[in-house]
Amino acid sequence: MIEQFHIYLLQDGKSENTIKGYAQSVNGFLKWFDESKGVEFQRLHKENVKEYISFLKTIKQSKPKTINTKLNALVKFNEFLVESKVQLDMVLTKKDYVKVQQQYASLAKVELKEVEKFRQLILDSGNKRNYAIVTLLSYSGLRISEALNLKMNDFNLTSRELIVQEGKGEKSRTVFINDKVKTAIQGWLKERKEKGIEHDFLFVSNRNKPIDRTTINKLFNDFSKKIGNEITPHDMRHFFCSHAINSGLSVHEVANQAGHSNIHTTLLYTNPSKEELINKMNQL
């Protein structure tokens, strides 16, 4: 059934990362069902879903956003079951989602000084490729998957434009880069040429293959220890959005750079940081 669900999601145009996430969530539900019910799964029941939500809250101590991510996958699974005629009705909708306390503080948790220290440590390590990747993530707003999927014909350093493929490449957006990103990419291109690297992808491994995101996650993990603060590739994206708005870019300009489908996501970055909020509270 999971294999058929995978095919269904592919036909629906979902990206591999989205499909992987959905599959993990549905497998988690099916594992819980098997262990708690002891019978073969036949179809989704709202009663079972409610029990699963309770299990996630009380036993797993999952946060509302985590629970809703799992429920989002189950909604899609429900749609698949209906279209496959395994069942006739939708028993789960977005009304069943767990209420999430409104985020007020900005999503960004990394400050400019930390980003610059992080970039400098990687530059000092002598790896031009990694320096270009980290600089790109910090100052363009790209997702890690978007950065690693850039090809040699997707950018123009003269016009300072990147053509970023979104999802499975069915959509794209134009992203503009600053001097820092341009210089970092130029440094990597020079090294690529010196090494005689010829590949369609901009960023390749020492084995001349596209870089896997796990390699970059390990890079961030290793250098985070030197910073003394856990920093992820996604934190750099948060930093960019917050820093860009603070530096004068409009909400719509940042939304375009980051590829936000909902402007409300971008608006979160106009909120003060937690530290700023605490400082304001201390003034009372």
Q: Which residues are catalytic?
A: 143, 168, 234, 237, 260, 269
22 vs 32: CA distance, rounded Å? 16
Tell which residue, 183, 158, 171, 146, has the closest CA to residue 258: 146
Cα-based distances in Å from 210 to 134, 197, 277 = 16, 12, 42
DSSP state of 71: H
Q: In what order do the strands lie in the sheet with 155-156?
A: 155-156, 161-166, 171-176
**Residue 210 structure tokens:** 């596209």
Cα-based distances in Å from 279 to 21, 30, 271 = 38, 46, 14
Measured between its terminal Cα atoms, the distance across the chain in Å is: 58
Please check whether residue 211 is in contact with residue 205, taking contact to mean a CB–CB distance below 8 angstroms: yes
Q: Phi/psi class of residue 135: alpha, beta or left (left: φ > 0; alpha: ψ in -120 to 50)?
A: alpha
